[in-house]
Amino acid sequence: MRIRAAVIREAGGAFSFEELELDEPKAGELLVRVVASGICSTDEAARQQHAPVPLPAVLGHEGAGIVERIGANVSAFSPGDRVCFSFSSCGCCEPCQEGKPYICEESGRLNFGGVLLDGTRRLHKGDETLSAFFGQGSFATWAVVSERNAIPVDKDIPLEVAAPFGCGIQTGAGTVLNVLDGRAGEAIAVFGMGAVGMSAIMAAALAGLNPIIAVGGNAQSLALARELGATHALNRHEVDDLARAIVALTRTGAHYSIDTTGAKPLIMSALHCLRPEGSLALLAPCEELTLDVVSDLIGPTRRILGVTEGASNPPVFIPRLLRLYREGRFPVDRIISCYPFADIDRAFADSLSGKVIKAVVQM
């Protein structure tokens, strides 16, 4: 079928709106009319080719829409169902069988290789084939996805709100709820007040962590973080020694810290603000980091954890978060700004500049 998609053809290039052919869904797949798609820093990494996705490509990996048709052997979905999309996984390897699809052995190929589960591509323009990011390519009016990376969305939840749960929202919330698993009254510091950091703040409030310290460089975002659950906010432009300030607020340091920025100075502050046996979760790429293993790690017995997708099993974890949103306990809609699909370049620019926290394009 004919679809309209925002295509990236060269590293760092602007989006080109093009008409493409999309193949019908095969066994285990869904054809979905895309209603909305979140914009994530991983999309920008792919556009700049820091994440080497084969070009040309249709990016977008936080899609949501309505099922139009299903392929053979699909049992969990029917035409008319409302769904959001998450990352791809094979369902067959040992991690997938253990409920850990975020470390699927085929994750690299399925999410960054531009292919679907059977190794082929569904997007074409004449004789040319195009990659679909994360097994969805949701910057398009239609997408074919595996039923494994589709999650049902109830009718009372707007699809533009559900869309970003597929990556950024579950990453921040899952790091707090699935990985750190903190107890009420324990201290946490979250560095970076983008969508991932804000989701971590909201999840920390749900878990009863206290104090919850938001660290960022945008005064408006820090004020919103306070409204969403942070007990304290530190502006990195105004505080000379963030680690010292956090230790002062917590007496002996935070039990947990999360870095969503990938910036070396902030990572080191997130490490040094921890108390003995504290844990730092790293959620953003940083090419190289130099540590003194004795004084930074062994002496104070601190831990550094790398976290992917919030260690989430999306069909289990995302419905949990959506229920919390419906109950008014996880107000993700407060960080979302919507744009027409035609304004996708502006949505990216506003995201990169910090003008908006979570941009979502609506088809």
Give me the pLDDT at residue 288, please.
Answer: 87
Q: What is the pLDDT of residue 297?
A: 94
Which residues lie across from 34 on neighbouring strands?
65
pLDDT mean over 4-21: 97
Q: Per-residue pLDDT tens for 121-176? A: 999 999 999 999 999 999 999 999 999 999 999 999 999 999 999 999 999 999 99
What pLDDT shows up at residue 341? 98
* Tokens encoding 162: 């559900």
Domain locations along the chain: 2-166+331-362, 169-309
pLDDT bin (cut points 50, 70, 90) of residue 249 is very high
List, for residues 19-75, the tens digit of each pLDDT value. 999 999 999 999 999 999 999 999 999 999 998 899 999 999 999 999 999 999 999
Can 2-166+331-362 and 169-309 be said to share one CATH topology? no
pLDDT for 287 beyond 90: no
What angle do helix axes 264-272 and 242-250 make, rounded to 10 degrees?
A: 30
Nearest of 178, 100, 159, 166 to residue 135 by alpha carbon? 166
What amino acid occupies position 28? Answer: G
Portion of the chain with pLDDT greater than 70, in percent: 100
**Above 90 in pLDDT, residue 222?**
yes
CATH 3.40.50.720 corresponds to the domain 169-309? yes
Predicted local confidence at residue 275, as pLDDT: 97
Q: pLDDT band at residue 96, thresholds of 50, 70 and 90?
A: very high
Q: What are the backbone angles phi and psi of residue 349, rounded to the nearest 5°?
A: -60, -45
Class of domain 2-166+331-362: alpha beta
**The model's pTM:** 0.96
- For the record, the structure tokens of 193 come out as 């007040």
For range 260-272, the mean pLDDT: 97
Helices (H), the chain: 41-47, 94-97, 107-112, 159-162, 168-174, 195-207, 219-228, 242-250, 264-272, 314-326, 344-353
* Geometric angle at alpha carbon 7, from 5 and 9, rounded to 5°: 160
What six digits make up the tokens of 296?
Answer: 């930074």
